[in-house]
Structure 1
Amino acid sequence: MPTTDPGFDRDGILHLLQWLAEQSVVASISAVGKSSLTDEPKWVFRAASGPSVPSDLRQNVETEESTAGQCVCMALPLLKEAGLSMSGGSWISGLEELDCTEGTGVLVLDWLVEQGVSVFLKADGERATPGWTLIVHGGALPDILRFDGRQADGCFRRMLLDLRGQGLAVPL
């Protein structure tokens, strides 16, 4: 395991998902692993107000694009239209509305999709304390791997350890 900080805590998209969970929204981003080099990945961003926790989100939001960053860029105005006040959120410093650059965490997920691995990441605002679920499966992985935690950073770090333990050389 490298001793350098992979920077998961500086990923703007992860900051946005965390902020949405803090607003009692269940937010996820996912993609199915590519089956061939010619396949174009399809990322899906979803945000929903859960039935057990009230939030300002008046309607569900879903976008589909070829990158996670594009999904989020398309979702931001829809989240505003659905009733969330997007100004002043803690995520803004890491993700500019017109940029939507993918940080380390999402880039690792994108690399996994390129290797044929399907990915699902959820920030759950319905939990008493917002929590995360990260699931990866398919491709060269013999089993479904699931990681749950209070912070995205911890889920990603455990995922990297498991993937490397299974011989998958994640470039990070």
Structure 2
Amino acid sequence: MARPRNRLPKSDPDSGIEDVPLLILEWLGEQGISALIRFDAQRPRTPWTFTAAGGALLHPIRNDAASADKCLNNGLALMRKQGINVPF
């Protein structure tokens, strides 16, 4: 039987995907902060971007990095400088 088109596969809880970045994004949303982590293949040196704005942030932040880990960690450090302490 053919697989239905335009349907996402069911998530696999044992897939090994880290939950922490998703928890961080969810927590930020609960604080009224819009946030995004993105990969752009057109920028091979720094393809990862983290942005956040709104809520209690005084100024929007943006961080570009070579890895997702560095990008998110640097973005959270920029948020701490504005008084946002993410509890993860």
TM range (shorter): 0.7 to 0.9
Distance 1:162 1:112 in 2: 14
Length, aligned pairs only: 80
CA RMSD of aligned residues (A): 2.5
Q: In the alignment, which residue of structure 1 is the partner of 2:3?
A: none
TM-superposed CA distance for 1:99, in Å, is 2.5
Instruction: Give the C-alpha shift of residue 156 in structure 1.
Output: 1.1
**Which residue pairs with 1:171 in the alignment?**
87
Identity %: 38
**TM-score, with normalisation over the residues of structure 2?**
0.75
Counterpart position of 1:154: 70
Gaps of 5+ in 2: 1-5
The one-letter code of the counterpart of 2:25 is: L
CA–CA distance in structure 2, aligned partners of residues 103 and 137 of structure 1: 22
What letter matches 1:125 in structure 2? A
Structure 1 unmatched runs, 5+: 1-60, 62-72, 78-96
* 1:120-159 Cα deviation digits (max 9, x unpaired): 2211112235610111000000111001011011111112
Runs of at least 4 residues off by over 3 Å? none
Secondary structure of the residue aligned to 1:109 is helix
Aligned to 1:104: 20
Higher RCO (CA-CA < 8 Å; seq separation 6+): 1
SS at 1:156's partner residue? helix
The partner residue of 1:119 within 35, 43, 59 is 35
Corresponding residue number in structure 1 for 2:55: 139
